[in-house]
Every structure is written in C-alpha cells, then in structure tokens.
A and B are shown apart, each in its own frame.
Chain A
Amino acid sequence: MNIGTRKILDRSFTAVGIGSIVVMALALMIVVVPIVYNGIGAVFFTGTVEHRKMLHAEFKRGDSQELSSEVASSNRYRAKIYDMLTGFEAELETMTPEKKAEYQAKYSQVRTALQALLGPLPGDPEPMLTRFKYGQTRWDKAEEKLHDLLFESKWDNSNPNVMSKEYFVSRAIGFEGTSLVRLFPYVKDNFENMLLPEFTFYWGFITDSSVDSHFFGGIWPEIQGTFFLAIGAMLFAFPLGVIAAVYFTEYAKPGFLNSMLRSANSTLAGVPSIVFGMFGLAFFINTMKVSESKSVIAGALTLAIMILPTIIRAAEEAILAVPKTYREASLSLGSTKWNTIATVILPAALPGILTGGVISLGRAAGETAPIIFTAAVSVGSAIGLADVFSSPTPALSWNIYNLASEHEAATQLRHVQYGMVLALVTIVLLLNLSAIVLRARISKKLKC
C-alpha cells in the first residue's frame, strides 16, 4: 500500500471516529436535555397563589400573614367574577325554559373551567379530594386552563371521508347578549391579579411526601424507597459476591464443576430482569415467606440476586489483576493462604471490587421489573427502617412507570414524572461518581 492511500485511510478513519462521537453526543443531548430541563421545572417554576395556599394548608409552610394579604388581594379580583356568576344565575331564572336549558349546559362548562383555574367557587361543596381543593398551582398550567375557559374546542366534520379537524370558538360569542359575556375579557385582563404568579423554588419536591396521589407535594417516599432497595440489595450481594469471587479465583480447582459454575454465573448476568422479578415473587414471597406481602426485604433480596453475577465478575477480574509477585512475596514470608488473601490480595483488589459494586448499586436503583411483584407500590407513605421487613415501598423506577402510564391524570402530571426521572438519573450519576472518587482515593493510598 503506498503512502497516499494509507494517509487517506487514516484520515477517513479519524473522520468516522469523530463523526460517531458527535452522533453519540447528540443522541445523549436529545435524551438528557429534556430530562434536565423539564425535571428542573418540577422544583423551579412560576407558582401561583394557589400553590402557596396549598403549601400552607398541607405542609404548614410559608408566612401566614403575607399569604392572607395575598389571598385577600386576589379575592378582591375574584369577587367580581363571583358576582358575575350570581348575576347570570339570576338572569337564567328569567329566561324561557328552552333558552335556559341551552345556556345551562354552556354555563356548567364555564363553571368547570373556572373551578379548574381558581379552585372551588362560592357555593360549591367542600371537595374531599385535595386535587379539587385548589386552583392551578403552576402558572404554565394555569395559562392552558385559561385557554380552555376562553375557547371551546370543536371538531369540524364537514368532510365525511376524513377525520375531523379541531378548531376553537370563543366562549364569549356563545353568551352574546347576556350579562356573562363580560366575564371572559375580565378574567383575561385580571388573570395575573387573581393568581399572583411568582418565581418559586419548591425544595419540598425532594423532601415532601406526595399529596393526593402526586397531584401536589413531593417524591421523598420514592427517593427513600429507592435508597432502601439499592442499599439493601448491596448488603446481601456485596459480601456474597466477593466471597464467591475469592472462591473462584483462589480455591476452586479447574474442572467440570468449576466451569459449569462459571458459565452459570455468566448466563445469570444476561437473564432479563423481569425473570428475576418473577423468581423473587415465587421464591421469596410465596415459598420462603420472607414477608407476608411485598416488602423492601423481598425486593432487596431479588435485586441482590440480579446484581450478584456482575459483582462476582467484577471482583474476579479485580482479584486476577493483582500482580502474582504480591502473592508470592506474602507466601514466601510464611503467611498462610487465607492470611495472604485477607491482608494482601483483597486490599490490592479493593478499588476494582468497589467499582463493580457501586456500578451494580446504580443498576439496582434503576431497575423496575424485579420490584414490580416484590416491593413496589403506587401509593404508600415513607417507611421507617423498622418497617423494611414488613412494608412495601414506593420507588422511583416503578413510580415513574406508574405515573406515566397507569395514573388517571398522567398527562397533567408530566412535571412530576420528569422530576422523578431527573432525581433517579441524578442518584445513579452520583453513585457512579462516588465510585470513581472512591477508587481514585484507595489506589492513591495503596501506592504510598
């Protein structure tokens, strides 16, 4: 090959390499940027006076004097709306029955839209569910609801051969000639005065429990459950994994049994996690009865079995990477085999073993399938350490799925879903970072 072709090949390889890195970075950006942007929106957002009312009533947080003056000022503007409603209701009574029925239907839609915006109207019964006790707590959602109030969505099906098209009609037109027609421009003009938007840093999203299945409040029980499960799994899997790795590398004699065990271990590392979930349900809960129902302990044991193969492999590699000379030096000084393992080989292999461990910890924190049947619930309060043997727990991975697909108001709670995703990604990232730091510190210690 002449030098020219070689140069061209060389350059094209570099180009392909850089190209693939760029594609990878872009793909990562496409995934990570929305998560971070929307996830941060769960904590930093423009909150309305309704949000501050909710915080004060549910969590006893906020300055009650300031709040009551805010509520008073917003109520001044709201009072006019309520007057208009009463006025229109009186007007309804004077109409002919047909006209009344026609307006009644439209009017009840207006009331529903106003309730969504401002919370219960005067005369409404006190709602049982917290989600109906307050108006819109977030300004971005409030703007959407304002649109719902001002415009009615209709579907144009003039062409029977295709699906209908959506278009919007101003609700004000529907009330032309009645007193209610003034309501719509009034709400639009005084919208800010009624909701008092203010930049909000809601740290409680991390530390609060959820209120009324995640409509308000935070995700602390989920975060705590994730930690309990991941750390519990580690408590079981790490010692077992290291002991198994020591056996494989130091004691096991090469032979049929040994190679079978090794290939079984490798196979287990590739088994889909849902299989471990089913196994956990059948073995730990139904057969062993480690707990009466789903519980943290059953989930942690299931996760432990799932991450065990990875820990064994990582520990094995780390032990095998310890230079032979260490072992020979120790043995030549008259040390026993066990003593050599405990005082020379394991400390030298520790950085590698720990890295494997922490990476598995991250995996245990993020897995959904193994805990569906063994530990996770969609509603439950934060549990104490004493309850891990008997109580199931919410956990980030499962609750993200539950909230995004099964929840009755999944589309309204996108900010909570993104907040949970960001929390989970951050936890896993922090765990992996701590693995890197730990590894660096230990290897530094070993060198001096």
Chain B
Amino acid sequence: MINKLLQLVFLLAFSVTGTADAAVKTIVLDGSTTVGPVAKSFATYFTKKYGIRVTVSESGSGNGAKSLINGSCTIAAMSRAMKDAEIAAARKKGVNPVAHVIALDGLAMVVHPANPVRSLSKAQISSIYHGTITNWKDVGGANARIVVIQRESNSGTQDSFKELVTGKSMQITGGAETQSSNGAVKTRVSTTPSAIGFLGLGFVDSSVKLIAVNGVLPSVKTVKNGSYSVSRPLYLYTNGQPSGPVKQFIDLPNTVEGKAIISELGFVNR
C-alpha cells in the first residue's frame, strides 16, 4: 500500500516537472473555423520542423477572441478584426491584442450545382437574406423557395458577410437556417438544391457552385487584385508582440513553405 502511495507521489512529481517543461513547448491556437485548415496545416508543419507541439481548436472567431482575453490560448485565429468592445475587454485584463494578417480570403456565395443562377448583385443577396426575395425565380432562377443559410453569431465569417454585403444594421430574415461551421454550410448547400450560403474560398469544392457577385467570380486572382469585393484578411492575434517560437509560427506566411501551404489550401497569399 505504502509502495503504491510512493509510486503515486513519484508519478505526480514527475508530472509537475513535466508541466514546467511543456509550457514552453506548446502553442495553443483557438478560434475561427475558416482559418482552421491553414492553422491545422501550419501546426503539422511547425511541429514536424521545430518539434514544438501546436494544438488547434476550431470554435469560432468570437471564441478565439474570448480565449485570448482570458489567457487560455497563445494565438487566436480570427476571420474578422477584433471589435472595439473585445479590445477594451482585453485591455481591462491586461491583454494587448496584436493583429497579424496571414492571408486573404474571398467570401464566396455558393449554391447547389443544379441551380441555374450564375450571378447575383449585392443588392439581390441583401434582399434574399433580408427575406424580401424568397423565390429563385425572382432572381432569374427556377421556381423554388430559397433556403437561406447563415452562420452562428459567434462566427467571424457571418460578421464579415454582414459588413461586406448586407450592411451591419440589416436584420437577417428569421427563416434563415444557422449552421455552425464552413464545413456544415458546404454540406447543407451541396445537399439542398434550393439553398444559398456563404463560405471561405478555401472551403469551396466541386460539390457547390460559386456565384458571381456584381459580375465577378471569386478566385485567387480576383481576390488578390481586389476586383472581387467580398473579401477579407484572415488574422492571427497574439498577446503583445510575439517572440521566440510564437513569432516563428506567426511568420510562417512570409516563408516560401508557408506561402505554398496557403495557396495549396485555396486561400490567397497577401
């Protein structure tokens, strides 16, 4: 019995020393599901190259900001800039959020491939999300009720969509369906012929069809040269200017390898 107790004590002591070691060796990333693919691939690459463990949670931009403010993550991944209220809350807790733009991302409007509609204007999209246009035939499509899909309130993509397309103050129709990640929006749109949703450009594949906004189709080229207007930067936020391994991680988008990862994933290098 005493032996076992001693073993336990040793085990605990060992664990505690282990903790002190691990604190430097782990980078904790939390936040946006849009930044998720980039963050995950960076993490894999970084761990392989430097032997420093990086964990990634995809819980939404809002959650990422909260985690950074509470000090429970090293880097917050966000698909929108921090809001004034969040910055104020951070300052209050002695956290100084510093933004680092890692890539650009087009906010792609997507429909089911069966939908004959090819192009919508921003005004039409706003009316669809406001609920004044409810049938595809009003925008040149088939006679089918539009299934409007939006993101949850925690989502940076949702905030960007409102800011870039509909305007911040517009009320989105109560009939809109809420999905909690880019992947979930894609699955819903690809299985519902009359649905419309919005996704980060990196998530688009052949299961959904891109819609041209104001006549311009989103692509790496049009986002980069600015002709596709519904685009936004993707951020990593740190507490204060980063140093050491965290800085190395933040600087990945400036390296050749980092740029290659970003473009292979379908995101846009700055």
Q: Which residues of A contact B (CB under 8 A)?
A: 125, 127-130, 132, 153, 155, 157, 160-166, 211-213, 285-286, 292-294, 372-373, 376-381, 383-392, 402, 405-411
Q: Which residues of B contact A130 (CB under 8 A)?
A: 44
Q: Indicate whether A165 sits within 8 Å of B261 (C-beta atoms), given known contacts A377-B55, A406-B183.
A: no
Q: Which residues of A contact B183 (CB under 8 A)?
A: 405-408, 410
Check A163 against B70 for contact (C-beta < 8 Å).
Answer: no
* Given known contacts A157-B116, A162-B143, A392-B57, A128 and B15 CB-to-CB distance under 8 angstroms: no
The answer to whether A387 touches B113, judged by C-beta atoms less than 8 angstroms apart, is: no
B28 in contact with A285 (CB, 8 Å): no
Q: Which residues from B are CB-within-8-Å of A155?
A: 113-114, 116
User: When chains A and B are docked, how far (Å) is the Cα of A285 from the Cα of B72?
Assistant: 8
Using known A-B contacts A293-B28, A381-B53, determine if residue A387 contacts B70 with beta carbons closer than 8 Å: no
Given pairs A408-B265, A410-B183, 18 additional interface contacts (CB within 8 A) = A157-B116, A160-B142, A161-B137, A163-B144, A213-B41, A292-B28, A293-B30, A293-B67, A379-B44, A381-B53, A384-B18, A385-B15, A388-B15, A389-B15, A390-B23, A390-B26, A392-B28, A410-B187
- Among B32-40, B99-107, B124-132, B213-221, which stretch is in contact with chain A? B32-40
Q: Does B170 contact A (CB under 8 A)?
A: no
Contact of B57 with A129 in the complex, beta carbons under 8 Å: no
The interface of chain B, by Cβ under 8 A from chain A, is 11, 14-19, 21-23, 26, 28, 30, 33, 36-37, 39-41, 43-45, 47, 53-59, 67, 70-74, 112-116, 137, 141-144, 180-184, 186-187, 190, 193-194, 202-203, 205-207, 257, 260-261, 264-265
**Cα-based distance from A406 to B37 in the complex (angstroms):** 10
Q: Which residues of A contact B206 (CB under 8 A)?
A: 153
- Which one, B17, B43, B56, B181, contacts A405 given CB within 8 A? B181
Contacts of B39 in A (CB 8 A): 379
CA of A379 to CA of B55, assembled, Å: 6
Nearest CB on B from A403, distance (A): 9
Q: In the bound complex, do residue B116 and residue A164 qualify as a contact, i.e. CB atoms below 8 Å apart?
A: yes
Q: In the complex, what residues of A have CB within 8 A of residue B30's CB? A: 293-294
- Beta-carbon nearest neighbor of A410 in chain B: B183
How far apart are B93's CB and chain A's nearest CB, in angstroms? 11
On whether the beta carbons of A406 and B36 are closer than 8 Å, the reply is yes
Given known pairs A163-B142, A378-B56, A387-B18, the reply for A408 and B28 (CB within 8 Å) is: no
Instruction: Contact check, B264 vs A129: say whether CB atoms are below 8 A apart.
Output: yes
Q: Is the interface of A mostly helix, strand, loop or mixed?
A: loop
Residues of A within 8 A of B67 (CB): 293
Look across to chain B and name the residue whose beta carbon is closest to the beta carbon of A126: B260
List the A residue with the shortest CB-CB distance to B67.
A293
Q: Is B70 a contact partner of A389 (Cβ separation < 8 A)?
A: no
Query: Chain A residue with minimal CB distance to B264?
Result: A129
Given A128-B261, A386-B15; A391-B44 close (CB under 8 Å): no
- A387 nearest in chain B by CB position: B22
CA distance A387 to B53 in the complex (A): 11
Q: List 17 A-B contacts (CB under 8 A).
A: A128-B41, A128-B261, A160-B142, A163-B114, A165-B114, A292-B72, A293-B28, A293-B55, A377-B55, A378-B36, A379-B44, A379-B56, A391-B22, A392-B28, A405-B180, A406-B184, A408-B182
Known A-B contacts A163-B115, A286-B70; A128 and B58 likewise in contact (beta carbons under 8 Å): no
Chain B residues with Cβ under 8 A from A293's Cβ? 28, 30, 55, 67, 72-74
Q: A285-B70, A390-B26, A408-B36 are in contact. Are A166 and B53 (CB under 8 A)?
A: no
With A161-B142, A212-B41, A381-B47 known as contacts, the answer to whether A389 contacts B53 (CB < 8 A) is: no
**Pairs A-B, 8 closest by C-beta atoms:** A386-B18, A157-B116, A380-B55, A406-B181, A128-B260, A377-B55, A163-B114, A293-B28
Residues of A close to B260: CB separation below 8 A: 125, 127-128
Q: Which residue of A129, A153, A387, A406 is within 8 Å of B261 (Cβ)?
A: A129
Residues of A near B181 (CB, < 8 A) are 405-406
Rounded to whole Å, the gap between the CB of A222 and the closest CB of chain B is 13
> Shortest distance in angstroms between B29's beta carbon and chain A's nearest beta carbon?
8
